[in-house]
């Protein structure tokens, strides 16, 4: 266990003794072409989001993304469930800590 080098606090930092390491391993199959079964695709061309809040589903929305197979040219729509809340439209601005000028924060 590491000790805190800050003289103001006598507590040690880090996780408590005996706490487990959390490892989340998820196997996700790439989307495949229904015609040739290839997983190679071009860029997504159009993205549509359909909300399913309160519909009794484990996800809150579905993403429909259109793409084209690079192997045979078949156009397909990939469906991806979204399990977290929606992202904000505007990026959040990071403000510098008090006492620092704006140029020193970057």
CA-to-CA separations, 97 to 9, 22, 93, 103, 104, in angstroms, rounded? 22, 32, 13, 12, 10
Instruction: Summarize the confidence of residues 2-31 as an average pLDDT.
Output: 70
Query: Does the predicted TM-score (pTM) go above 0.75?
Result: no
> In the prediction, which pLDDT does 64 show?
93
Q: How far apart are CA 65 and CA 68, in angstroms?
A: 10
- Does the structure show a pLDDT above 80 at 15? no
Report the chain's C-alpha Rg in angstroms.
23
Question: CB–CB of 44/66 below 8 Å?
Answer: yes
Mean pLDDT of the chain: 76
Q: Are 61 and 49 in contact (CB under 8 A)?
A: yes
pLDDT at residue 43 is higher than 60: yes
- pLDDT at 83 (0 to 100): 81
């Amino acid at each position: 266990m590491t000790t805190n080098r800050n003289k103001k606090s006598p507590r040690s930092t880090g996780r408590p003794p005996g706490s487990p390491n959390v490892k989340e391993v998820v196997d996700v199959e790439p989307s495949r072409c229904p015609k040739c079964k290839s997983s190679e695709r071009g860029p997504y061309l159009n993205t549509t989001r359909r909300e399913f809040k309160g519909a009794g589903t484990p996800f809150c929305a579905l993403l429909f993304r259109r793409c084209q197979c690079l192997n045979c040219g078949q156009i397909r729509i990939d469906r991806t469930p979204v399990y977290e809340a929606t992202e904000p439209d505007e990026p959040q601005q990071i403000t510098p800590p008090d006492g620092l000028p704006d140029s020193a924060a970057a």
